[in-house]
Amino acid sequence: MDKTTLKEIALEQRSVFLNRSEGVPRAALDRVGSLLKLPHAVVVSGIRRCGKSTFLKQIASRYLEQSFFYFNFEDERLLGFEPGDFSLLHEVLIGSYGEQKVFLLDEVQNAPAWEAFVRRMSDAGFKFVLTGSNASLLSGELATKLTGRHAEIALFPFSFDEFLRFRNIEKTDDLFLTPSGRAKLDQQFGHYRSQGGFPDRLEHDSPEILSRLYEDIVYRDVAVRHEIKNTRALRELSLYYMSNLATLCSYNRLKSSLGLGSTTTVASYTDHLEQAYLLSTVNVFDSSIKRRAIAPKKVYATDTGLANAVSLSFSKNIGALTENIVFTELYRRQRRPFYYKTASGKEVDFACVKGLELRELIQVSHDISAPSTRARELDSLLEAISESGLETGLLLTQDRSEEITDQGRTVLVRPVTHWLLER
């Protein structure tokens, strides 16, 4: 690239970056301090517009002061950027800001051969904090070039905790213990379930922002990047998932309904959507890898507000949306789960494992006030507790808090809002 153009871009980007609002401090920020002390690249990955650039600003403000280079590869003026331009970029940055040892590189997956540059400069003692919006590119290239020398932070749209802080609502005892406080908490959770946690959507109170974001992800991050010709089928598959959260999906049935040639194509499209962080698939808990692979999967959106903005459903399934929020929080807490199927066919929403060992069973039900619903949810959870050898299970619901004991098995019933806000 032309050196003058590259310098203009770098100067403009740094000015925009320094003037960016720091927003709500993200929970993941506390992890960064220890990672910066390691000789590893720090990779911040997540869906578009979830706040990765703002998170970089928070990292710079808390840990780096002014001692860093910043460059954003999500810039249309960089279409002619080639691998050999990295050395020129470094020269431009030094000329503008002096010698620095830390690079903050935004949406780095858009730069060709970025991983080779990061590897070479890391070997020379430079530190990198990278952001990216495509899991397959980041993980594949990092695994090839930086094996064992990078640490990853998954960033999501706002958690419920961060949502409350965005709205300047303090987590006082009154919020949990008084009738008015609990009513306020439930009201805010309803807003969160409906609107989701994308900062731009909340700041501008515009669901249209999410519709445009969805189109960008499906078209730019999936169809264009993977050269998918059958964009109609891709869009239909994506909309099906976003309209049927927390339900079991069979690739074979989807193949037939969408007119795709094979289940392999459905699996491939689904994987691309997942790698773009639009959604996540969950397997059944089973010791057999083969049975896990062929069993139906459950699908969750990364953000319920995004799903609501594009869903084809005419009525919102509050139970499924609540379950989706719990899934995302488990993922955020690095406890990515399976779903559990008992021998008699009863289903428990989440089975969290450590290694190969089942550690926790969680059922989610928005409202268990009806006796039939209460019996169904408890029976499933109690049967799974007995089969798994665990002693307790957790039932998350709208507003109940109790402890149920049955033949040596215990079910802890807790309000989902309280569980979401625990640290």
Per the domain annotation, does 328 fall within a domain?
Answer: no
Per the domain annotation, does 386 fall within a domain?
Answer: no
CA 147, CA 295: separation in Å to the nearest integer? 32
Residue 395 has pLDDT above 90, yes or no: yes
Q: Do 113 and 204 fall into the same domain?
A: no
Per the domain annotation, does 398 fall within a domain?
Answer: no
User: At which of 107, 137, 154 does a domain end?
Assistant: 154
CATH value at residue 123: 3.40.50.300
CA 162, CA 26: separation in Å to the nearest integer? 7
| Mean of all residue pLDDT scores within the chain | 93
Per the domain annotation, does 61 fall within a domain?
Answer: yes
Residue 222 has pLDDT above 90, yes or no: yes
Average pLDDT of span 259-281:
94
Q: Could you read off the pLDDT of 45-104 as tens digits, one per residue?
A: 999 999 999 999 999 999 998 899 999 999 999 999 999 999 999 999 999 999 999 999
Average pLDDT of span 294-299:
95
Residue 251 · residue 237 · CB < 8 Å: no
Q: Could you read off the pLDDT of 107-116 as tens digits, one per residue?
A: 998 999 998 9
Q: Do 148 and 178 fall into the same domain?
A: no
How many domains does the structure of the chain reveal? 2
pLDDT-derived band at 356, boundaries 50, 70, 90: confident
Q: Do 145 and 214 fall into the same domain?
A: no
Q: Do 170 and 256 fall into the same domain?
A: yes
Q: Could you read off the pLDDT of 116-156 as tens digits, one per residue?
A: 999 999 999 999 999 998 886 666 666 666 766 788 899 99
Average pLDDT of span 340-355:
95
Q: What's the pLDDT score for residue 134?
A: 83
Q: Do 191 and 308 fall into the same domain?
A: yes
Query: Rounded to 10 degrees, what is the CA torsion of 328, 332, 334, 336?
Result: 10
Q: What's the pLDDT score for residue 96?
A: 95
Q: If we measure between CA atoms, which residue out of 417, 318, 47, 334 comes closest to residue 200?
A: 47
Q: Do 163 and 235 fall into the same domain?
A: yes
Q: Do 8 and 143 fall into the same domain?
A: yes
Query: How many Cα atoms within 13 Å fall on the side-chain side of residue 105?
Result: 25
pLDDT-derived band at 314, boundaries 50, 70, 90: low
Per the domain annotation, does 19 fall within a domain?
Answer: yes
Q: What's the pLDDT score for residue 143?
A: 62
Task: Report percent pLDDT > 90 for the chain.
Answer: 85
Residue 8 has pLDDT above 80, yes or no: yes
Residue 55 · residue 155 · CB < 8 Å: yes
Range(s) of the domain holding residue 179: 158-281+303-313
Task: Report percent pLDDT > 70 for the chain.
Answer: 96
Q: Do 136 and 199 fall into the same domain?
A: no
Per the domain annotation, does 413 fall within a domain?
Answer: no
